[in-house]
Every structure is written in C-alpha cells, then in structure tokens.
C-alpha cells in the first residue's frame, strides 16, 4: 500500500444473509477488502436483508466468519432494512421526474406477452407502460388484493449501456423497464444497492462477476438520481468459484462454509491459505509461514488477478 496516498473513498462487501458464506463468497469478500485497502480506501460492510426469505441470525454468523479470516471493516455493519427512508425518498424522486409506472403483470403475463421490437431477450414487454388513468385503475382492481409493482420508465431508445470494469474491461448490459419496488412493497436490489452505496460514500464496488449484467441498470439509476457514477465510481467484477462439478459453487458441493470446514478439522488459517493460493498471492515458499490478510495485502496487485473462474478442488489438505 502506498502510505503517501491519503485515505479516500470506500469499498464494501454486501452479503445477503441467506445462510453461511461459502468459499466463493469468502473469496469475493477477501478481494473486496484487498481492492479497498490497497487503494487506501475505507472498507464498509452492509447486510442486504431486504429479502423476507432471509435466515434470521445468518448475518451475524457471516460477519463473525469474515472477521475470523482477518477481513475487518470500518464502523458498524449497515443493515439494509434500516435504510427504508432513503429508499422511499429515491422512489419519490423518480416518481416526481415522471419515471415510474405501475405494473400489474404477473410473471406468467410477462412470459406470455409478445416482446417489443428491438428489445433485448427477456426484457419487460412494456404491457403497462402507457396506460390511461382509467386503464390503470381497472388493472389495479383486477389484481386486488395484490398490489402493482413500480417499474422504471427507461429512457426512450435506450436498450443497453456500457461501462468499463476494472477486471472485465468493457461490459455492455441490457436496459429495460426494470422493477424498482415489488407489489409487496419491498424495494428492488438494483435501487437499494445504488442508494445505499451512494449514502455510504462507496466509490469502489467489488463483487462476483454474476452481478456484472445488473450494473448497467444501476448506473442508469445513478444518473437519473444524480448520484456518483463511473468514472467516479469504480467497478471490479471478480471471477466466480466453481464446484468440482464445474457449476457455480453451491451448498450441494459438500463442506464449503467455514462452520462446515471447521467441523471437518480444517482451520480458518488453512482456508485463508487456499484462497490466497487460488489468487496467486502465495506459493511454495510460503509453506511454513503463517498467512495473514496483511501479508496478502502487501502482495496484492489487481493487474495479476486471475481472470478465469477458480475451481474448488473439493478438499483442503
Ligand atoms: N447482496 C448481493 C449478493 O449477495 C451482492 C450485492 C452487491 O455486492 O452489489 O449477491
Ligand atoms: Zn406490467
């Protein structure tokens, strides 16, 4: 780390509390920490607990696991469910700008509707976009007691948006009239993440490459809400971890979380060592050394980060 560089901006890790973190999540968290600390940034933590299906208590366990690997963060972890006022204010602002409309479509309706010309595959077909007040009232009544969702009226002619990712280079992603608030009142991930990152002063987003396709929508929201956006916000989508079957690592792949590995006698230090090896940060010469996140920080260079997914071999020896 360059000690002469003043502290600036912040990176973050933002897990969803849906069970214990697995090796793929832990590797992404380690990378987020390394990216932030190696650029003199603060490192913040946010528990993305908006989804009702969350496991009570799993956020606490996730934080404990990160801490015990030596991934420490600044200040208390932010709970996304505490941020409702800001989310509502952002929705109100978009509404004032005339950028929202009610959507009464079910998933089935969307699949059955013919897609709009020139729309990207899977894009919302625009069924509810141009309703009159009377049509809207009728559509609302027809789905009661279910309530309509709110969608963004994407700028006319905008089907995609490009950004430059630190690890992936140019990324182009689809834009459509995506959901900002679901019928049950829960705000959508894309809205919450943009509002919360801005409020927390995050200017470096490091996360799994599976989320790269969502980023253009998030950048569009930043622009519409006049929040910091690239190049003032940096994105690094990092390679995923695959299980022995070649699929994205998941719970079915056996012992993949710290508590499961501990139960098999694998120490946290051994886990950190494997993650560090997978990132090319340590080699044979470090065999006898105690690996710490501070040692990894000294050695981290984003330019030498492996570009391909890492396949978890299934055991730690
Ligand atoms: N909560 C999201 C997840 O765990 C990550 C959100 C983000 O990093 O932007 O998949
Ligand atoms: Zn609709």
Q: Render pLDDT for 109-129 as a digit per residue (tens, 0 to 9).
A: 998 888 877 777 888 999 999
Q: Render pLDDT for 176-226 as a digit per residue (tens, 0 to 9).
A: 999 999 999 999 999 999 999 999 999 999 999 999 999 999 999 999 999
Q: Decide whether any atom of ligand 1 lies within 6 Å of the 49 Cβ.
A: no
Give the pLDDT score at 6. 52
Confidence of residue 57 (pLDDT cuts 50, 70, 90): confident
Give the pLDDT score at 53. 58
Give the pLDDT score at 2. 46
Q: Render pLDDT for 44-55 as a digit per residue (tens, 0 to 9).
A: 999 999 986 566
Cα of 179 to ligand 2 centre, how many Å? 10
Query: Is the pLDDT reported for residue 5 higher than 70?
Result: no
Enumerate long-range contacts of 209-214, CB under 8 Å, 24 or more apart: 209/167, 209/168, 209/237, 209/238, 209/239, 209/240, 210/240, 210/248, 211/237, 212/165, 212/168, 212/171, 212/173, 212/237, 213/173, 213/174, 214/173, 214/189, 214/190
pTM score above 0.85: yes
Domain locations along the chain: 10-76+239-311, 81-237
Comparing 10-76+239-311 with 81-237, is the CATH topology the same? Answer: yes
- Helix (H) / strand (E) containing 179: strand 179-181
Say if residues 209 and 237 touch (Cβ distance below 8 Å).
yes
To test the pocket of ligand 1, the residue of 66, 189, 215, 218 to mutate (highest count of ligand atoms within 8 Å of its CB) is: 189
Mean pLDDT of 253-257: 94
- Helix (H) / strand (E) containing 301: none
Mean pLDDT of 229-253: 95
Cα of 113 to ligand 2 centre, how many Å? 10
Query: Is the pLDDT reported for residue 314 higher than 90?
Result: no
Superfamily of domain 10-76+239-311: HUPs (3.40.50.620)
Enumerate long-range contacts of 157-163, CB under 8 Å, 24 or more apart: 158/220, 159/118, 159/119, 159/120, 159/123, 160/120, 160/216, 161/216, 161/217, 161/219, 161/220, 162/216, 163/215, 163/216, 163/219, 163/230, 163/235
Mean pLDDT of 277-306: 90
Cα of 14 to ligand 1 centre, how many Å? 5
Least confident of 2-6, 150-154, 244-248: 2-6
Superfamily of domain 81-237: HUPs (3.40.50.620)
Q: How far is CA 307 from CA 13, 194, 240, 241, 304, in A?
A: 20, 26, 10, 11, 9
């Amino acid at each position: 780390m360059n000690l002469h560089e003043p502290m600036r901006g912040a990176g973050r890790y933002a897990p969803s509390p849906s069970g214990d973190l697995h090796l793929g999540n832990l590797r992404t968290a380690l990378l987020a920490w390394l990216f932030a600390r190696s650029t003199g940034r603060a490192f913040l933590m946010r528990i993305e607990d908006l989804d009702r299906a969350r496991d009570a208590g799993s956020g606490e366990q996730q934080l404990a696991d990160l801490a015990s690997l030596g991934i420490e963060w600044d200040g208390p972890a932010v709970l996304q469910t505490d941020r409702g006022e800001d989310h509502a204010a952002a929705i109100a602002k978009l509404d004032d700008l005339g950028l929202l409309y009610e959507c009464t479509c079910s998933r089935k309706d969307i699949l059955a509707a013919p897609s709009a010309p020139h729309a990207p595959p899977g894009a919302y077909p625009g069924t509810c976009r141009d309703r009159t007040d009377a049509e809207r009232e009728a559509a609302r009544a027809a789905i009661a007691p279910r309530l309509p969702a709110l969608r963004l009226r994407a700028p006319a002619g905008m089907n995609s948006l490009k950004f430059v990712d630190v690890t992936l280079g140019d990324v182009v992603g689809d834009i459509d009239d995506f959901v900002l608030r679901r019928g049950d009142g829960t705000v959508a991930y894309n809205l919450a993440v943009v509002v919360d990152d801005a409020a927390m002063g995050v200017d470096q987003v490091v996360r799994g490459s599976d989320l790269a396709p969502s980023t253009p929508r998030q950048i569009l929201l930043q622009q519409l809400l006049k929040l910091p956006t690239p190049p003032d916000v940096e994105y690094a989508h990092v390679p995923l971890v695959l299980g022995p079957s070649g699929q994205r690592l998941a719970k079915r792949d056996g012992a993949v979380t710290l508590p499961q590995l501990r139960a098999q006698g694998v120490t946290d230090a051994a886990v950190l060592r494997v993650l560090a090896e997978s990132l090319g940060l340590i080699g044979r010469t470090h065999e006898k050394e105690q690996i710490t996140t501070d040692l990894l920080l000294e050695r981290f260079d984003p330019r030498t980060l492996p570009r391909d997914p890492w396949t978890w071999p299934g055991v730690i020896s």
